[in-house]
């Protein structure tokens, strides 16, 4: 027999999609507050939101009639017709959040428009209306949700520990606070205020508060416009990384959403600066015409569909890359005077492992021409393979005045070059540094100069696995464009005929195996730019001077000079730092001259 479901049951079914946990309640209620024009929102929770979530705002409030309507399914003030559905500017539009939440909790709504004398109080339990009364309250709206899932034990069972649920709520609030920097947020956990974001902030200042101390002074603004796509936001210096993608916040027309393609685009923007397996920190705000994006994909509204995704991805990648490039050149404008970090062993250790932006700043401010501002080498420049053999002065394609380069003192552990520049101790990882130099040279050649191949006197034969052979066959023409000429020799056998000039003196077989292995591993032969990049990185890695190799002072000087002429001298192409530096304050701290 077919029958229409009772209203409470259908609300509970809808709740299954809209309300998964206390954090979803917080999200829906806070979104309603923002839609109601609130300037300040307070979120109070108890027991991870399981026993209570209370959200109060100073927004428009609702009259008695509107309040009663608001708890009805499909009651919304936000859209009227189908045209509105395709140009949604509010967070809510489905008219189901309040009735869904009310159907699985003990629910209370207290609301008052500014011009009303009294507030109305609506109480419900498990979706049943218990009482409607008049009460005194400030203008605005308060929604209290107690004992979530009290009448759906199966759902309640899936809730995690209080701290875990509270963590989800904090994340949700962080996201919404980032997306709405003009709105003030207060979060109170078990009676204790834990977070406070004042109203009227701009995104940069809000991001400093939300993302926390270790990121606060390392954020760079994003600004990019392409046709009708506008990208704004911030990204953190690549030395600040996380082990998951959950600190990449994406807002599309102010709505916090998740989109794999945008995350991949952020990675493309960070390319060459982030170590494998690590995730950058970024807040990406994409604004585009409402009819270019469908937000009605899922009841939780976390998923969206771009009408044409590629231009958006392209814009995001460019925005991030441009911000990092600018930051690299004018760090002073962004980092300003970095507060001296607190003392403590962990602090010292952290500071000594990676170059910090202030290091970038100091190192760079000492380079008047600045990395990235070198004049492009004339066509046909001779690529330098530093370190040059002992005794032969290395040729270089740059004309950096010697007095601006760091003074080199020597090498330790056969790997690190010790230098001083502008009153700072600078340590350079010779392999990472050389990798960067070779990579940029190869890339420059590939993009700006005619193909450069050196034919081998004795072509080298290679034996590959079946999968590898397939992969290689597919990319032979592209490898040839890079200067690596390989021909199939039947079956899984190949012959290497020529290699890029810069790599002429290096073992060929291991290079080709390296390229194929990297491609097999990353499996991204689909995106040509990406795998070409991987090929160049592998070539650079194979060619670069290894750790544990002693270098002459002259070789070191040549390497450092070339490094400082690079576009991105601070990271190897895999994203590791090429140099770390210590200013006087840090040295004094290490030696406890100051505390």
List residues near ligand ATP by CB under 6 A.
28, 32-33, 36, 57, 59-62, 70, 75-78, 92-98, 141
59 binds Mg ion per the rule CB under 5 A? no
Q: Rounded to whole angstroms, how far apart are CA atoms 437 and 417?
A: 15
293 binds Mg ion per the rule CB under 5 A? no
Q: Which is nearer to Mg ion, 19 or 222 (CB)?
A: 19
Q: Rounded to whole angstroms, how far apart are CA atoms 556 and 386?
A: 8
Q: Which is nearer to ligand ATP, 93 or 267 (CB)?
A: 93
Ranked by CB distance to ligand ATP, the top (closest) residue is: 92
- The listed partner (ligand ATP, Mg ion, none) that binds 220, CB under 5 to 8 Å by sort, is none
* Shortest distance (Å) from residue 36 CB to ligand ATP: 3
Select from 11, 12, 32, 411 the one that contacts Mg ion (CB under 5 A): 32
The span of 26-34, 174-182, 472-480, 501-509 binding Mg ion (CB under 5 A) equals 26-34
285 binds Mg ion per the rule CB under 5 A? no
* Shortest distance (Å) from residue 38 CB to ligand ATP: 7
Residue 42: its H or E element: strand 40-46
* Shortest distance (Å) from residue 293 CB to ligand ATP: 16
Residue (of 286, 322, 292) closest to 308 by Cα position = 292
Q: Which is nearer to ligand ATP, 97 or 187 (CB)?
A: 97
Ranked by CB distance to Mg ion, the top (closest) residue is: 92
Q: Which is nearer to ligand ATP, 145 or 485 (CB)?
A: 145
Beta bridge partners of residue 410, listed in sequence order:
418
Q: Which is nearer to ligand ATP, 27 or 247 (CB)?
A: 27
* Shortest distance (Å) from residue 523 CB to ligand ATP: 39
* Shortest distance (Å) from residue 92 CB to ligand ATP: 2
Tokens at 185, concatenated: 């947020």
Residue 410: its H or E element: strand 407-412
175 binds Mg ion per the rule CB under 5 A? no
Block residue for tokens 């962080």: 174
DSSP for 48-80 reads GGTSEEEEEE-S----HHHHHHHTSTT--SS--
Residue (of 569, 583, 589, 576) closest to 547 by Cα position = 576
DSSP for 82-144 reads HHHHTS--SS--SS-HHHHHHHTSEEEEEEE-TT-SSEEEEEEETTEEEEEEEE---SEEEEE
* Shortest distance (Å) from residue 473 CB to ligand ATP: 52
Residue 44: its H or E element: strand 40-46
Let me know if 342 is exposed, middle or buried by CB neighbors in 10 A (0-12, 13-18, 19+). exposed
Q: Look up residue 192 and give its DSSP letter.
A: E
DSSP for 242-254 reads ESSGGGEEEEETT
Q: Which is nearer to Mg ion, 32 or 558 (CB)?
A: 32
Which residues have a Cβ under 8 Å from the Cβ of 582 and sit 6 or more positions away? 352, 424, 425, 426, 590
Cα–Cα distances in angstroms (integers) from residue 177 to residues 50, 86, 201, 255, 274, in the given order: 22, 25, 10, 11, 26
24 binds Mg ion per the rule CB under 5 A? no
Q: Which is nearer to ligand ATP, 76 or 103 (CB)?
A: 76
* Shortest distance (Å) from residue 223 CB to ligand ATP: 31
* Shortest distance (Å) from residue 120 CB to ligand ATP: 12
Residues 75-94 as x/- pattern, contact with Mg ion by CB under 5 A: -----------------x--
The span of 4-12, 97-105, 368-376, 544-552 binding Mg ion (CB under 5 A) equals 97-105
Q: Which is nearer to ligand ATP, 141 or 218 (CB)?
A: 141
Q: Rounded to whole angstroms, how far apart are CA atoms 55 and 366?
A: 52
Q: Which is nearer to ligand ATP, 20 or 314 (CB)?
A: 20
What residues make contact with Mg ion under the rule CB under 5 A?
A: 32, 92, 97
């Amino acid at each position: 027999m077919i029958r229409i479901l009772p209203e409470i049951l259908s609300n509970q079914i809808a709740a299954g999609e809209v309300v998964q946990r206390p954090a979803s309640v917080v999200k829906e209620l806070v979104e309603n507050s923002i839609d109601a024009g609130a300037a300040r929102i307070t979120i109070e929770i108890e027991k991870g939101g399981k026993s209570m979530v209370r959200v109060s705002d100073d927004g428009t409030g609702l009259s008695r009639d509107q309040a009663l309507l608001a708890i009805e399914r499909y009651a919304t003030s936000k859209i009227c017709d189908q045209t509105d559905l395709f140009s949604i500017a509010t967070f809510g539009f489905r008219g189901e959040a309040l009735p869904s939440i009310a159907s699985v909790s003990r629910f209370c709504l207290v609301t008052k428009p500014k011009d009303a004398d009294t507030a109305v109080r609506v109480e419900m339990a498990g979706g049943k209306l218990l009482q409607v009364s008049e009460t005194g309250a400030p203008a605005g709206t308060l929604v209290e949700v107690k004992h979530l899932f009290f009448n759906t034990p199966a759902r309640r069972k899936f809730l995690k520990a209080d701290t875990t649920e509270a963590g989800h709520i904090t994340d949700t609030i962080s996201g919404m606070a980032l997306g709405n920097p003009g709105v003030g947020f207060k979060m109170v956990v078990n009676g204790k205020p834990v977070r406070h974001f004042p109203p009227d902030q701009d995104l940069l200042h809000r991001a400093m508060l939300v993302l926390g101390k270790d990121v606060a002074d390392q954020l760079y603004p994003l600004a990019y416009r392409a046709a009708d796509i506008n990208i704004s936001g911030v990204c953190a210096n690549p030395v600040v990384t996380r082990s998951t993608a959950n600190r990449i916040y994406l807002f599309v027309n102010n709505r916090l959403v998740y989109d794999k393609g945008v995350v991949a685009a952020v990675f493309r923007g960070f390319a060459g600066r982030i170590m494998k397996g690590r995730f950058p920190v970024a807040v990406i705000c994409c604004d585009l015409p409402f009819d270019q994006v469908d937000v009605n994909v899922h009841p939780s509204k976390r998923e969206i569909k771009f009408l044409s995704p590629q231009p958006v991805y392209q814009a995001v990648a460019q925005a991030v890359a441009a911000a990092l490039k600018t930051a690299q050149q004018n760090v002073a404008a962004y980092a300003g005077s970095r507060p001296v970090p607190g003392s403590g062993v962990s602090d010292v250790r952290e500071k000594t492992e990676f170059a910090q932006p202030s290091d970038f700043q100091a190192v760079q401010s000492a380079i008047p021409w600045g990395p990235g501002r070198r004049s492009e080498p004339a066509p046909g420049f001779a690529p330098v393979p530093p370190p040059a053999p002992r005794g032969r002065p290395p040729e270089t394609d740059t004309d950096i005045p010697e007095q601006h380069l760091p003074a080199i003192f020597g090498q330790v552990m056969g790997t690190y070059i010790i230098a001083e520049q502008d009153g700072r101790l600078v340590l350079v990882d010779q392999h990472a540094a050389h990798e960067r130099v070779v990579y940029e040279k190869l890339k420059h050649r590939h993009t700006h100069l005619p193909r450069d191949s050196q034919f081998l006197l004795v072509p080298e034969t290679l034996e590959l696995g079946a999968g590898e052979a397939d992969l290689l066959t597919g990319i032979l023409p592209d490898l040839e464009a890079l200067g690596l000429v390989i021909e199939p020799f039947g079956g899984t056998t190949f012959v290497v005929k020529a290699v890029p000039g810069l790599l002429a003196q290096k073992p060929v077989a291991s290079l080709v195996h390296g390229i194929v292995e990297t491609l097999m591993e990353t499996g991204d032969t689909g995106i040509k730019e990406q795998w070409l990049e991987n090929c160049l990185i592998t070539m650079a890695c194979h060619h670069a001077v290894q750790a544990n190799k002693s270098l002459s002072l002259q070789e070191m000087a040549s390497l450092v000079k070339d490094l400082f002429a690079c576009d991105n001298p601070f990271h190897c192409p895999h994203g590791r730092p090429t140099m770390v530096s210590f200013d006087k304050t840090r040295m004094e701290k290490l030696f406890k001259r100051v505390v």
